Structure 1
Amino acid sequence: MLFLAMNGAKHVDMQQTTTSNNLANVHTIGFKADMVAFRALPVVGQGAPTRTYVVDSTVGHNMTAGSMQQTGSDNDFAVGTAGFFAVQAPDGSEAYTRDGGFVVDDAGMMRTRSGLPIMSDTGPITVPQGMKINVASDGTVSAFPVDQGQTPIVPQTVAQIKLVNPGDRAVYKGGDGLFHLQGGGVAQADANVSLVPGSLENSNVNAVDSLVQMISHGRQFDLNIKMMQTADEDDKHANQILAIN
């Protein structure tokens, strides 16, 4: 019982870590909550065949859309349908996110606010310097030459943000917080995915549910610790009885 309880406490603590991470990202734009569950594994070896280990298992992520926050900023956009927009991950590969909004660096490259280059079908998007940038609902990026702050002239189409929808089961969330295709590769652009300019998608983490889960995990951890203490006390009493005999 000692080792079973010890394993249970360990995995409850691991699940508490996931829940705490969800709660810490309750205000992170575009964040999708990780979902966890416990599963039972049989104990192989001598002893009762009914013994099982309780193991933490991350079963996926909650892809429910978060609430829309209207900002009115031309530098903000949210994914208004199922799907993602493409970015370049730190390792150079293509990854996907719903953390909308952009900034333009000194080289004219469009990046997310976390610094990742935003991708088109042909690579990172670069826009002309000193122009007003607009993102349309279909991902089209336009540049407006402005004459001394007066009425903008005819816009120039620069590129189109790559929008994809490979399906929830086709992607996984990596340790970098970005979504990647199962088995590698890149997703094909999907014309049915659209953006909502001037808005951001809030995190879909429910703070109340996460707090309740943390309380539940704390009680389960305490229960396993008490089981370990009970097993230790039973062992001491058994040794005392054997010593008397």
Structure 2
Amino acid sequence: MIRQRLFSEFLATCLLLVIVVGSGIMAERLAGGNDAIALLANTLATVGGLYVLIEVFGPVSGAHMNPAVSVVMAIRGDLAWTRLPAYIAVQLAGAACGAWLANAMFDLPLGFSEKARGGAGPWLGEIVATAGLLLVVLRAPSSRVAAIVAAYIGAAYWFTSSTSFANPAAAFGRMFSDSFAGIAPADVPAFVAAQALGAALGVSIHALLGKDHG
């Protein structure tokens, strides 16, 4: 059973990065230098793909695809602490494999991204994006979590200055693709720190709001 769950998390995270990175490459090539059109195409692909991934893999592993989500699920008791390291390991491995697969499909060389994403604005954007994501994950009805999470991420692509990575595994994987969705390795640690802070903030807001009284 645990092997199935870990394989599910690996495959789901891998496919998430294939969707995010691959659609970014395709969008950049077809947009003719128009970043707004490229981001719109990247957003639409991510929204649709994320919804499908949560629906397909959620019943098997929870479809976290995100170490921040897994940590919070462990704190809530929905994921055993003993399984948390393995979840994070396969998420990171899946993210890297997904980026490499996207590169291979579009004949891009393997290597690291040179796309700089540093600065106070993007870091604040990651705090906001991740706080919102965790709040949505914790409060969305289970029957609608796929649609609500996908919709939130799609919106956050546009209202955050960082384009809403909101996921340490995504930040890790995207540094392996020098493309529209990439991030320079030097900028990853600050993004992950901002995401951790945002996750803690999202959990705190959820606690302050209390139970949904309908």
Q: Given the two structures, how large is their TM-score scaled by the length of structure 1?
A: 0.20
* Higher strand fraction (1 or 2): 1
- Asked which structure has the greater CA Rg, the reply is 1
